[in-house]
Amino acid sequence: MHADLLPRLTEADWQDRERRHRQRVTRFAEPYLDRRSRGAKHPVEDFLFTYYNQKPGRLLRWHPGAGVVLEGAEAAGRGGWKYYTAHDDGVRVDVRTFIEERRDAVEFARLILARTAARPAQFGCFGLHEWAMAYRSGVYGVRHEYLDLRLGAAGTDDVVESARIRCTHFDAFRFYTPQAVPLNEYAPTRETQRDLEQPGCLHANMDLYKWAYKLTPLLPSEIVMDCFELSWRIRAMDMQASPYDLSDWGYRPIPIETTEGKAEYVRLQRGFAHESQALRERLSESLERALDSWA
């Protein structure tokens, strides 16, 4: 679209959206920042701020997405932000510079979103990736050293050894203990990620947040936070199904070592897969609109 024809937001309009966005982020960020200042940890609520690279300060920044002019925004200091450019009496996202500097990230995100969406979902993993990370904890320790294992070390090992482990997600697989690695039916790598990601995987669906923030400011902050909030809920379920005892944090276990626990896991997993596919489609469409605004 020609720059002169881009939709515009008045200063009052975009400031209202910015205010609502900051309120939405603050609900999650303030407790995390408070815990961090006290040296405290939370096994569920810290994850999106510690595992992923987007820090609270950057997440607090509201962006309209590509192809929108913010009137009067330069006077508010936004004109000095990276990947923004002056436009008449306001600013807009500088899509051309973003694409030139981040082309590889854009193309990989397009590829992983499209290929994952096109594959059938698999629902037979039962969250055993977390158990494989704690396998032989007597030798290797556990990733979350401040948490107790719900079944103890021996009980955790028994579950792993009696299970069929079918994790397709490299960023979960890479944290397996050495003796758990050969127990997995797949051997995912960064290079095969584009060929293995599938929409039943909890971690692939949490990663929608990663692709969204990596494309900031091309995408509207509202869709980034939709991804964040979905990932937040998935993380809670992921840890409920893990070998760790989270009762002190108010999370009841999903005992995947039982028939009933497996059934509950799959039911919740299917729900998240459905939500994630819809959000994955929105992400892809929003990215294509951003690229169209540049073209």
Determine, yes or no, domain membership for 213: yes
Does the structure show a pLDDT above 90 at 151?
Answer: yes
For tokens 């890479």, name the residue.
174
Q: Could you read off the pLDDT of 83-136 as tens digits, one per residue?
A: 999 887 789 999 999 999 999 999 999 999 999 999 999 999 999 999 999 999
**Nearest CA-CA partner of 147 in 231, 241, 261, 41:** 41
How much is the pLDDT for 79?
78
Cα end-to-end span (Å), the chain: 7
Rounded to whole angstroms, the Cα distance separating 170 from 185 reads 13
Q: How many CB atoms sit inside 10 A of residue 81's CB?
A: 15
Q: Where are the alpha helices (DSSP H) in 39-94?
A: 47-50, 56-59
Determine, yes or no, domain membership for 179: no
How much is the pLDDT for 276?
98
Does the structure show a pLDDT above 80 at 23?
Answer: yes
Q: Could you read off the pLDDT of 42-96 as tens digits, one per residue?
A: 999 999 999 999 999 999 999 999 999 999 877 678 878 999 998 877 899 999 9
How much is the pLDDT for 4?
56
Rounded to whole angstroms, the Cα distance separating 277 from 44 reads 23
How much is the pLDDT for 90?
87
- Tell me if 200 sits within 8 A of 232, measured CB to CB: no
Q: What are phi and psi of 292, to 5 degrees?
A: -65, -35
Q: Could you read off the pLDDT of 263-273 as tens digits, one per residue?
A: 999 999 999 99
Determine, yes or no, domain membership for 185: no
Determine, yes or no, domain membership for 201: yes
Number of domains in the chain: 1
Q: CB within 8 A of 294, min separation 6: which ones?
A: 66, 95, 96, 99
Determine, yes or no, domain membership for 21: yes
Q: What burial class does residue 216 get, using C-beta atoms within 10 Å of its C-beta: 0-12 exposed, 13-18 middle, 19+ buried?
A: buried
Rounded to whole angstroms, the Cα distance separating 203 from 292 reads 30
- The pairing of beta strand 69-71 with beta strand 8-9: parallel
3-class SS at 8? strand
Determine, yes or no, domain membership for 39: yes
Amino acid at 138: G
Mean pLDDT of the chain: 94
- Tell me if 134 sits within 8 A of 142, measured CB to CB: yes
- The pairing of beta strand 90-93 with beta strand 69-71: antiparallel
How much is the pLDDT for 6?
77
Domain membership of residue 54 as a residue range: 3-124+190-294
Q: What would the mean pLDDT of 222-251 be, rounded to a whole number?
A: 97
Q: pLDDT confidence of 175, banded at 50, 70, 90?
A: very high
- Using left for φ > 0, alpha for ψ between -120 and 50, and beta otherwise, residue 36 falls in alpha
